[in-house]
């Protein structure tokens, strides 16, 4: 039974990235994958589009029309293949917690600290430094304030520069 996906899940040298929208990967499959990889080698990601956190309807992506369905899936109108997602990263965090796949701390690490740690060696090799950043979360895992370098955004407010 040769299955490259299973071999990759079993390889502790590899990290895995997951779009936790219940569309790209069914919830139960995601649970198995994260248990197999262990949360410290899992990254929550999104292939968000203009349809992210938007109402169902048609949007533009790279010169083509895409359509967000009521179930949150994004496809070329009339097509069956996914054309991105409507998932935001904070929603991915809430999803894995609500689905009982990870607790809040593990979900937040999969969305932030794990990707940063994975990218750090490559960034350092190219003398790229990330701006100091922080996110303040509400108890229901919604971002209340996001700061990246001198730029800060608070929920319900306009863009603020801290310098």
Q: Which residues are catalytic?
A: 47
- Phi–psi pair at 13, nearest 5 degrees: -75, -15
DSSP state of 109: H
Phi, psi dihedral angles at 15 (to 5 degrees): -100, 160
Q: Is 138 helix (H, G, I), strand (E, B) or coil?
A: coil
Q: Rounded distance, CA 45 to CA 32, Å?
A: 17
Element (H, E) at 151: strand 151-154
Which pair of structure tokens corresponds to residue 59?
A: 């949007």
d(CA 139, CA 154): 15
């Amino acid at each position: 039974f040769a299955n490259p996906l299973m071999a990759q899940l079993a390889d502790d040298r590899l990290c895995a990235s997951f779009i936790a929208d219940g569309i790209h990967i069914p919830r139960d499959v995601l649970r198995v994958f994260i248990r197999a990889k262990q949360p410290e080698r899992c990254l929550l990601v999104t292939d968000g589009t203009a349809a992210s956190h938007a109402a169902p309807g048609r949007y533009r992506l790279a010169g083509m029309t895409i359509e967000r369905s009521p179930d949150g899936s994004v496809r070329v109108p009339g097509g069956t293949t996914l054309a991105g997602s409507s998932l935001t990263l904070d929603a991915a965090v809430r999803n894995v917690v609500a689905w009982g796949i990870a607790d809040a701390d593990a979900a937040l690490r999969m969305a932030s600290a794990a990707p940063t740690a994975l990218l750090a060696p490559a960034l350092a090799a190219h003398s790229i430094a990330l701006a100091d950043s922080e996110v303040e979360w509400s108890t229901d895992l919604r971002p209340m304030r996001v700061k990246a370098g001198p730029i800060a955004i608070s929920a319900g407010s306009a863009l603020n520069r801290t310098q």
